[in-house]
Structure 1
């Protein structure tokens, strides 16, 4: 709609997006905005202040400004010769009563699939429609569908039935994820006596790839607002299935969400050991071997560093033939964050799990030379301090070794 030959009247522009309003609505402070812009603002703003007046918006109901919309449409028609397209009359926003009626019909088995499709369509609308669905009780309904049908799905898997057949839980999970739930909505899912988490665990175990990805994406959001006790009491099978999603590399988005989920969970209770026992260390090393994405590499090293804070994690890293090699290789090759995490991993191993044979192996892999390089470049004070500590710990084995380049011997700490 932009055209340099036409001057757009300023009152046609949304104060937030500074673009021509397609669906002008007025808030309680008397200022008119484009519906999509103000809904996004209100959804992301903590204090719900009017962007223009900075006054609190007391009533969240948005009043359509029909007069301004008609003026806008007339102006578009008059300037059609300049390439200005007429703005269509927006559809009336979905109401809570409409969603309540859909949810009521969805309780009838013969109408459930049709109602889920309707809810999926509404969830793809604007932020207002999503919040309206949440207020009408859609979360409880969708969670109940997932809880019920995921059990049937697990039974079908045990019988050897095909997993490619889409079930109501797959649609319900997709809708639940796209609702972009508020913090209270997410907390309500975590607080359902652990039943909903068990259902998502079953989906990660035997659901189709798309649903497994949605499950881990939703879990990441849920545990960002969960209480410590809800995190500490997670079962071993939960970590096993999360690790399997990581292993399967369903998508880059799912992989990053899984890494962030585990980073959030591992500091609590025995979760670090549960993750190690699920095979996470070996999976992370394999991922790191083939990873070319900077942020993913940083997350992998961040999680590996957490897992290497326990003896079980360090033992698994050393058991993997490429463990030390791939970690040291990432130093000075990815980012400052990645270098710091990699050096921390090597320090944990050197402090608590080192043997003479391991020190010799690290020397042959070029770890000592790489740490000497760390002292030569700008990679952060803390990283350098940790590199010096490792070099000192292995000084007896490393200092007089021909594996260290002669030009780096001067930087070896005494």
Structure 2
């Protein structure tokens, strides 16, 4: 019975938007959620495709269908907000599912933006650890971007930032910035890193990464205006709240200070330029007139008065 229902739903899910609305109204979503929640005990199905046949769990098939239905915001909020174990089921799939199922689970979690704050605040450290693992594994570009879009929705709350940091998010984000040449991925990663550096634990992990300061500085002017603004914000958080003599020297040596001087010369955004000026003035006694700053940029160094 389940097999026939899933086959019918699959054929309808990939068709018109009208079909998707009918599926919501007919209770198909509740059926799919039920199958997903029974993931561990779900039946095995033989699925035919262009490449041949493969055997997968009914829970994996239900998850794929649910993703392709493209549910309405109202329906998504109902699923996520009813505290019916659906989030826990997605977590289970993130831990045990195939790469494709983990990708679908991550993309469905993007629907958390419609969830009530109480459900977002109560997410477990394990949940964040699995989202970070999705980023580390780089299952596919869709899943990576879905995870990067999801995290800012969850990191508005300080507790969630700490959970994400403990799950290894800072290290993975910096590594992602090192490896990615995709503009949108870099922008999203810098948004997440900016939020993580909003807590002391996040800043400490950032500074523990040997390439952290250099990589964030490198992204200024090389990605987009939005990325440059976020990069300068991250550097500002470090310079205001977590600076040490070692950090100040590293910022000179890896070119952060020179890049901030360049921001004063080239950036048209008054907000970003002002933040760069504040950073340079804050540590002028250490940085000003230092040999590491090229002479053509030193003229841009702001007065400390």
Could you tell me the TM-score, scaled by structure 1's length?
Answer: 0.69
User: In 2, Cα distance between the equivalents of 1:377 and 1:150?
Assistant: 56
State the partner residue of 1:208: 98
Q: How far did 1:280 drift?
A: 0.4
2 CA distance for matches of 1:152 and 1:129?
26
* Number of the residue aligned with 2:47: none
- Seen in structure 2, the aligned counterparts of structure 1 residues 307 and 387 have a Cα distance that, compared at 3 Å, is same
Q: Distance in 2 between matches of 1:257 and 1:232?
A: 19
2:6 pairs with 1:116: yes
| Alignment check: 8 A CA contact 2:6 2:62 kept | yes
Secondary structure at the residue paired with 2:293? coil
Work out whether residues 257 and 293 of structure 2, in 8 Å CA contact, stay in contact via their aligned partners in 1.
yes
Are 2:198 and 2:237, in contact at CA under 8 Å, matched by a contact in 1? yes
Decide which moves more: 279-288 or 117-126: 117-126
- Residue of structure 1 equivalent to 2:123: 234
Larger helix fraction of residues: 2
The residue number in structure 2 matching 1:33 is: none
Taking the aligned partners of 1:194 and 1:209, their CA distance within structure 2 comes to 25
Aligned to 1:366: 255
Please state if 1:326 is matched with 2:229: no
State how far apart, in whole Å, the 2-side matches of 1:193 and 1:340 are: 38
Q: Per-residue deviation at 1:300? A: 0.3
Deviation (angstroms), 1:152: 6.3
Q: Report how far residue 374 of structure 1 moved.
A: 0.4
Q: Whose RCO is larger (CA < 8 A, sep 6+)? A: 2
Is 1:352 aligned with 2:257?
Answer: no
Pair 1:171 & 2:61 matched: yes
Judge conservation of contact 1:151–1:199 (CA < 8 Å) in 2: no
Q: How does 1:10-89 map to 2 (within 5 A)?
A: none
Question: Runs of 4+ in structure 1 displaced over 3 angstroms?
Answer: 150-153
C-alpha distance after superposition, 1:123-151 (max 9, x if no partner): 11101111001100011110010001246
- Which residue number corresponds to residue 225 of structure 1? 114
Is the CA contact (8 Å cut-off) linking 1:150 and 1:203 kept in structure 2? Answer: no
3-state secondary structure, aligned to 1:270: helix
Aligned to 2:231: 342
* Structure-2 residue corresponding to 1:126: 16
Superposed CA RMSD: 1.4
Instruction: Say whether 1:184 aligns with 2:74.
Output: yes
Q: Give the match's secondary structure for 1:166.
A: strand
Q: Does 1:149 align with 2:39?
A: yes
| CA distance in 2: counterparts of 1:378 and 1:287, whole angstroms | 25
Q: Is the 8 A contact 1:232 1:269 kept in 2?
A: no
Q: Does 1:255 align with 2:138?
A: no
| Alignment partner, residue 384 of structure 1 | 273
Structure 2 distance, partners of 1:264, 1:211, is 22
CA positional deviation for 1:392 = 1.2
Give the paired residue count: 293
Q: CA deviation at 1:230?
A: 1.0
